[in-house]
């Protein structure tokens, strides 16, 4: 990119299918993701995989698109990589689809593409096919990204909610609520001074490590993104009709995040995460699993937060730090700060 | 957080709980006035730790819950007529007679969810071609900042900023509850945040007139169990006084600067309370000299009046006459996804607190 090009903004011509679009694809997209699958420039990609395959798709819509700890590009890769990993699979390939709003700076697009490139490299996945559309100003929110991932299921994995049974332990791989509070701290009208960074990262290697070591003793894996920990636990309890018991004083929470939640009157268990997962595991392996995970950088804050119980089927009960109990309900909508 | 953790301490909570258990000999009904206290009682599982003889009654202290239906309809009317409406977050999901602000936004209205009325003044400054209205909901706690926004707009000479005022006051609501012949309240936990602004002055005559203990209480578990102990202690001894459990925050005289701001911009006037009806001298209205900032006058929407939903017993809930689960709509036709009344919508509402944290339906 020369300086003249960098000063440009995306306009409708970039999505027209004509020369402008071709130049954008060649100069920005193909250049960034140079690989043999993409370079064929077919409408689709031809790949070889063996065994059972996991597929997942997700669309990423976030404001602001650049935030402390990451950006929408990194999120779009890590999010789908993690969804594949939660199936007990090793992510291999990604598709990448941009819907860009007219007026987005080309420099911003290049920055996002480079983030996608780095995140894909770090996760060991290749971008093999994609699409770019441009919509009129006001008909998008700067940029939307869709990614679809394909992965091969780990040979030792047997992830299924049907395997969950009373006594199983609930493990969380890191501190909760960081992504949601990082975004909230930068939202217009709400900016507050806090060094809270999004936890967006890939989890596939950590998942591979625990599957290598414990195989089918890992009963279920879920990443608690939107709706936070509460949404995931509630879904598990409801889908499996088992009871979930968690302990408030075990929840891993950074001080700054806890303070920000406190100020806004927001419960951290409802806040989005992007770099942690919940594992429901056989109780026999709990200590060894936690021991293994805390030795890895991305699992250093791993903790067992509770267990599956025979009581209260379909419900999540939290033991409060002062000795009380309460039901954790699913979140209703977006977390909104209270009046007073 | 260290300061907070001291008030979320298991041992300290147990100390006060033990004292309550040792002291209590009879059944007592204690009303926590503030929705934030209701939320904390339920969220921390305190209700089940109390002896059966203590029956907590959830009061009307949720500003969202008590905002009357017609005020929401007025805000929706503005939103549908090309006005930028700015609101605190909790208010936007509360149903009006036809729709909520969130639904009006989905239909194309320019609704801004803000965290301070001073941001609304900025919105007005940045959009000189549009009218901007801040939905000024709340008790005494939010009144100073709302007053300041009016003063700032006046100073900047803004002609496109106004307030849709729905300010209510706590002591008149407490008195309305005490006057109700069905009232079962033996003692109050006063709203700590409100007293941070207003001080204790208004509570002495109320306590004396109705011979009722009023304990100004904070929001953390230790605050609440200590406040309940102080109430039980007075009740068992047959005394009625105003006590300040929340002395680390609340001063007897309140926040004089904040009170001064309120008095410059607002005066006490009659207000409608959702589910309760009109209570004389129970809210703030703009002083006459600030009429140009009164959205109801400016846009001619004062006439909008709508009847309340008759199947919703919000009034009885807000007055503590019935518990949320005693409503035959609770969890059936009324849930946070499809609320019939405001106490099910607001995060501070008693019905929502019960639904989220203790629901058994």
Collect all residues of chain B within an 8 Å Cβ-Cβ radius of residue A336.
Answer: 89-90, 92-93, 113, 347
Task: List C-alpha distances in Å: A154 to A60, A126, A216, B248.
Answer: 26, 18, 10, 57
Collect all residues of chain B within an 8 Å Cβ-Cβ radius of residue A189.
Answer: 112, 114-116, 119
Cβ atoms < 10 Å from Cβ of A260: 23
Residue A238 structure tokens: 């409801």
Can you count the helices (H) and strands (E) in chain B?
16, 11
- Give yes or no for A337 touching B (CB within 8 A): yes
Give the span between the Cα atoms of B44 and B19, in whole angstroms.
19
Q: Any idea what DSSP says for residue B83?
A: P
Q: Do A326 and B357 touch (CB under 8 A)?
A: yes
pLDDT in tens, B80-104: 999 999 998 888 888 888 899 999 9
Collect all residues of chain B within an 8 Å Cβ-Cβ radius of residue A337.
Answer: 88-90, 115
Facing A326 at nearest CB: one of B45, B112, B119? B45
Give the span between the Cα atoms of A61 and A76, in whole angstroms.
9
- Give yes or no for A325 touching B (CB within 8 A): yes
- Please classify residue A216 by burial: count the beta carbons closer than 10 Å to its beta carbon, then call 0-12 exposed, 13-18 middle and 19+ buried: middle
Strand-pair category, A316-319 with B277-286: unpaired
Type and span of the H or E element at B203: helix B203-210
Q: Helices B143-155 and B117-126: crossing angle, nearest 10°?
A: 30
Collect all residues of chain B within an 8 Å Cβ-Cβ radius of residue A258.
Answer: 1
Facing B115 at nearest CB: one of A258, A320, A337? A337
Give the span between the Cα atoms of A34 and B180, in whole angstroms.
76
Give the span between the Cα atoms of A99 and A91, in whole angstroms.
24
Name the 3-class secondary structure at A128. Answer: strand
Query: So what's the ipTM on this one?
Result: 0.78
Task: List C-alpha distances in Å: B226 to A254, B12, B46.
Answer: 29, 9, 12
Name the 3-class secondary structure at B59. Answer: strand
Q: What is the pTM of this model?
A: 0.86
pLDDT in tens, A29-80: 888 988 888 888 788 899 988 889 999 999 999 999 999 999 999 999 999 9
Higher pLDDT among residues A255 and B84, named by residue: B84
Provide the residue-wise pLDDT of chain B in tens; the chain has 361 residues: 566 778 889 999 999 999 999 999 999 999 999 988 988 998 899 998 999 999 999 888 888 888 888 999 999 999 999 999 999 888 888 888 889 999 999 999 999 988 889 999 999 999 999 999 999 999 999 999 999 999 999 999 999 999 999 999 999 999 988 998 888 899 999 999 999 999 999 999 999 999 999 999 999 999 999 999 999 999 999 999 999 999 999 999 999 999 999 999 999 999 988 878 889 999 999 999 999 999 999 999 999 988 877 888 888 887 778 888 899 999 888 888 778 877 887 766 888 888 877 654 3
Which residue of B16, B18, B44 is the best one to mutate when testing the A interface, meaning the one whose CB has the most A CBs within 10 A?
B44
Residue B323 structure tokens: 């518990």
Half-sphere exposure of B265 (CA within 13 A, CB side): 26
Task: List C-alpha distances in Å: A167 to A163, A306, A315.
Answer: 12, 10, 15
Higher pLDDT among residues A50 and A244, named by residue: A244
């Amino acid at each position: 990119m020369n300086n003249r090009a960098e000063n440009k903004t995306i306009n409708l011509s970039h999505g027209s299918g004509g020369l402008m679009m071709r130049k954008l694809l060649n100069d920005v997209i193909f250049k960034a993701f140079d690989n043999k699958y993409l370079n064929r420039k077919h409408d689709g990609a031809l790949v070889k995989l063996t065994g059972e395959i996991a597929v997942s798709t997700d669309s990423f819509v976030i404001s602001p698109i650049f935030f402390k700890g990451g950006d929408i590009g990194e999120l779009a890769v890590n999010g789908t990589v993690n969804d594949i990993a939660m199936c007990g699979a090793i992510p291999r390939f990604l598709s990448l689809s941009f819907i860009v709003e007219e007026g987005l700076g080309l420099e911003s697009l290049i920055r996002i593409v480079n983030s996608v490139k780095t995140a894909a490299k770090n996760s060991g996945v290749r971008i093999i096919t994609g699409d770019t559309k441009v919509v009129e100003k006001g008909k998008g929110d700067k940029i939307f990204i869709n990614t679809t991932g394909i992965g091969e299921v780990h040979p030792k994995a047997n992830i299924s909610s049907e395997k969950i049974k009373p006594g199983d332990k609930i493990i969380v791989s890191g501190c909760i609520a960081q992504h949601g509070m990082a975004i909230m701290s930068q939202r217009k009208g709400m900016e507050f001074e806090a060094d809270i960074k999004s936890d967006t990262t890939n989890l596939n290697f950590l998942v591979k490590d625990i599957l290598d070591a414990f195989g089918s003793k890992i009963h279920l894996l879920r990443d608690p993104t939107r709706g936070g920990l509460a949404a995931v636990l509630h879904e598990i309890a409801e889908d499996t009709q088992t009871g979930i018991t968690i302990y408030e004083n075990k929840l891993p929470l950074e001080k700054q995040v806890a303070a920000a939640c406190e100020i806004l009157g927001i419960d951290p268990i409802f806040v989005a995460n992007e770099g942690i997962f919940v594992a429901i595991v056989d109780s026999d392996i709990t200590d060894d699993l936690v021991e293994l995970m805390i030795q890895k950088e991305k699992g250093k804050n791993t903790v067992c937060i509770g267990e599956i119980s025979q009581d209260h089927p379909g419900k999540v009960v939290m033991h409060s730090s002062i000795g009380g109990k309460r039901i954790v309900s699913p979140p209703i909508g977006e977390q909104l700060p209270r009046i007073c | 957080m260290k300061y907070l953790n001291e008030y979320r301490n298991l041992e300290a909570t147990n100390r006060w709980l033990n004292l309550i258990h040792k002291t209590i000999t009879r059944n007592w009904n204690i009303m926590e006035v503030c929705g934030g206290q209701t939320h904390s009682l339920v969220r921390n599982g305190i209700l089940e730790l109390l002896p059966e003889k203590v029956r907590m009654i959830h009061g009307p202290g949720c500003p969202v819950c008590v905002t009357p239906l017609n005020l929401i309809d007025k805000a929706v009317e503005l939103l549908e007529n090309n006005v930028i409406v700015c609101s605190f977050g909790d208010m936007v999901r509360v149903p009006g007679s036809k729709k909520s602000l969130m639904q009006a936004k989905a239909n194309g209205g320019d609704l801004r969810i803000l965290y301070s009325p001073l941001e609304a003044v900025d919105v007005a400054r940045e959009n000189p071609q549009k009218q901007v209205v801040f939905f000024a909901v709340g008790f005494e706690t939010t009144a100073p900042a709302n007053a300041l926004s009016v003063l700032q707009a006046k100073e900047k000479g803004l002609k496109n900023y106004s307030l849709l005022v729905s300010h209510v006051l706590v002591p008149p609501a407490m008195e309305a509850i005490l006057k109700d012949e069905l009232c079962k309240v033996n003692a109050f936990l006063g709203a700590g945040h409100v007293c941070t602004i207003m001080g204790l002055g208004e509570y002495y005559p109320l306590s004396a007139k109705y011979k009722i203990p009023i304990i100004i209480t904070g929001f953390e578990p230790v605050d609440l169990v200590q406040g309940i102990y102080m109430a039980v202690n007075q009740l068992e001894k047959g005394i009625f006084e105003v006590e300040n459990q929340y002395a680390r925050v609340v001063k007897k005289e309140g926040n004089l600067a904040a009170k001064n701001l309120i008095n410059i911009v607002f005066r006490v006037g009659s207000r409608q309370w959702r589910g309760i009806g009109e209570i004389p001298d129970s809210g703030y209205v703009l002083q006459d000299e600030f009429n140009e900032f009164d959205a109801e006058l400016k846009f001619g929407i004062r006439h909008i009046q709508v009847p309340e939903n008759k199947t919703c017993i919000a009034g009885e809930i807000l007055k503590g006459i019935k518990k949320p689960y005693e409503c035959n709509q609770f969890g059936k036709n009324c849930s946070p996804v499809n609320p019939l009344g405001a106490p099910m919508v607001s995060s501070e509402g008693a019905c929502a607190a019960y639904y989220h944290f203790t629901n058994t339906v």
